[in-house]
Structure 1
């Protein structure tokens, strides 16, 4: 999504851009098939040569549709996935995904739920009180949903332990058999707490850092750079006013310590960016908004 002249413009879903890290060149490919609608806040991941996109928000609100494309056959044909068993999560955006045992494991997000689906005793959903419309609420959740591409099926695992507070716009990473989340928006606050879900036993635990932690934030990225270390970058924070940040931090899950990472680009803060790990634990950051996107129409 891009803001132009105070209007939000969704970028097309019918093209894919490929960047050659060695040559420093871009190439665009035009896609066919069941092209996803133009959306923001979708969750994407790459598994077994395929790109999966789930959820997001378009002009009609949040969605719970999933799309897939093979990135290696050179055809770039989108395919909408209809599950053979199980039910997809409720419509949502700003969620995260872990990859483990060839499955896609989704956590959290913000979206719409019918009143009939909200249990007053449940801790899985916090309603945004200002969002009530006739038979539904919008709000934050801490649900875990698993998609198995080989079976084309959804399921909801029974988790144990104390789950994180419902949230959206957090960041996640997978280390070994564990999925981690950091920060995000919890109601009107932005946090930097760290939670871990064991993807074998489905047990939650919270990690209490033994050092100074980054300021709370949302719309940041968390990238696994080794078997024990994750790199946090950027985001949107709240300290009496909303502001962008460009700092970077390393978190070691064994020592439970944060270390601020010095880099020369702190004058280029951003949120809504994407990040991935390349060779030699390099983290590649692309795009995002260099000013709070709801206030200023500046996009990197």
Structure 2
């Protein structure tokens, strides 16, 4: 990461990023980036400023916070963030004045962290929405689903948009608009600065929001969500725009929403946490093989750490790093908004899931990092490059121990 042009606000190696839910996170070049989200202050839900970004060095365990400038987006809930070639894009969400369909971007590699509101694009952007998802393929952003509002003339197909009947009670006099869930696919191409809506083929999944999605090769996968909680996997060919449903041949995880789906390899996906249809916050982890059409439950040590509204990213050596989220939530009956329970707890810890055996080199580095007092004197015998890497691992485990925020396997 090039940070020579701008100084960080603070390096907080002995602290961690504040506990939060509903944030955007992704991994790039050995760093975990975290932006936005909200937390609790004196019993009230407060959103984090949108003019700061937290960066976590996965080798050393050090958090650094950077200030951001430019055309700063408003604080947003349920927005959709993704990274393409080192550029972070934020689309949609709910701001103080309601749902939005604005697109913002910021280059994370030039060291300036300057936001830009993308207002000069051509084509028709999606309608305002939140709780949607995004696939990245061929340097394009492909948005799916979500919950939002449409004008009457825009609602032309009940298979693409399901009206939320409770919204008539909530929205009141705004009868010229419909609120509900959609299964639309919209594409933004940063190279041409253009929005498009491709013609779909096959049988699409039901409209939904608060679902999870992931990209494997040329295929986009989606499962679960509000109003469509089934754990059957739907996949979209991102070149032919053809939908296919994958019906599992094995035991299926319980239906859920607000969970995560992370690509592990060319053929496997990792699912973690979420909120069950009975309102239980979940802590189970599952691996889905898209070729065999099989779910396999992953045994892990984090069963006592349920999460929803968390983030999950593929880290080093095929491990999955889960950050933040909430341990308890309650849904309102109208599903437009989410009511935090009085005991709601946001999290700031990092959960690491090993999905396959670690390489011998990684095991050795971690062993030295955990036993630094015994082995630190012998480090001087090693080449300088190896010394530097091992000192980062030593710092990682020291920081994790002092913070109590890192939960290993």
What range is the shorter-chain TM-score in?
over 0.9
Q: In structure 2, what is the Cα distance between the partners aligned to 1:275 and 1:84?
A: 30
Q: Which of 75, 79, 82 is the aligned partner of 2:116? A: 79
Q: In structure 2, what is the Cα distance between the partners aligned to 1:190 and 1:7?
A: 29
Q: In structure 1, what is the Cα distance between the partners aligned to 2:205 and 2:191?
A: 29
Q: Determine whether 1:4 maps to 2:41.
A: yes
Residues 136-179 of structure 1 show CA distances to partners (whole Å, capped at 9, x for unaligned) of 12110000000000111100000001100000000000011100
Residues 249-294 of structure 1 show CA distances to partners (whole Å, capped at 9, x for unaligned) of 0000010000000110011001001111012111111111111162
Q: Which of 277, 293, 313 is the aligned partner of 1:238? A: 277
* Residue in structure 1 matched with residue 232 of structure 2 by the alignment: 193
Partner SS state of residue 166, structure 2: helix
Whether the 8 Å CA contact 2:105–2:117 is kept in 1: the answer is: yes
Q: In structure 2, what is the Cα distance between the partners aligned to 1:153 and 1:43?
A: 18
Q: In structure 2, what is the Cα distance between the partners aligned to 1:26 and 1:218?
A: 29
TM normalised by structure 2 equals 0.71
Shift of 1:113: 0.8
Once the two structures are superposed, the pairs formed by residues 168-187 of structure 1 within 5 Å of their partners are 168-186=209-227
* Residue in structure 2 matched with residue 155 of structure 1 by the alignment: 196
Q: In structure 2, what is the Cα distance between the partners aligned to 1:219 and 1:292?
A: 11
Q: In structure 1, what is the Cα distance between the partners aligned to 2:283 and 2:224?
A: 15
Shift of 1:5: 4.1
Q: Which of 336, 340, 344 is the aligned partner of 1:297? A: 344
* Residue in structure 2 matched with residue 131 of structure 1 by the alignment: 167
* Residue in structure 1 matched with residue 243 of structure 2 by the alignment: 204
Q: In structure 1, what is the Cα distance between the partners aligned to 2:189 and 2:57?
A: 31
* Residue in structure 2 matched with residue 25 of structure 1 by the alignment: 62
Higher Cα radius of gyration: 2
Structure 1 vs Structure 2 CA RMSD:
1.2
Q: In structure 2, what is the Cα distance between the partners aligned to 1:115 and 1:215?
A: 35
Unpaired runs of 5+ in structure 1? none
Q: In structure 2, what is the Cα distance between the partners aligned to 1:129 and 1:4?
A: 33
Stretch moving more, 52-61 or 215-224 = 52-61
Shift of 1:87: 1.1
Q: In structure 1, what is the Cα distance between the partners aligned to 2:217 and 2:41?
A: 42
* Residue in structure 2 matched with residue 93 of structure 1 by the alignment: 130
Shift of 1:62: 1.3
Task: Specify whether residues 225 and 60 from structure 1 end up closer, same or farther in structure 2 by C-alpha distance, changes over 3 A only.
Answer: same
TM normalised by structure 1 equals 0.96
Higher strand share: 1
Shift of 1:122: 3.5
Q: In structure 1, what is the Cα distance between the partners aligned to 2:298 and 2:240?
A: 33
Whether the 8 Å CA contact 1:115–1:137 is kept in 2: the answer is: yes
Residues 151-210 of structure 1 show CA distances to partners (whole Å, capped at 9, x for unaligned) of 111000000011000000000000111000011111xx6332210001111000100000
Q: In structure 1, what is the Cα distance between the partners aligned to 2:181 and 2:46?
A: 25
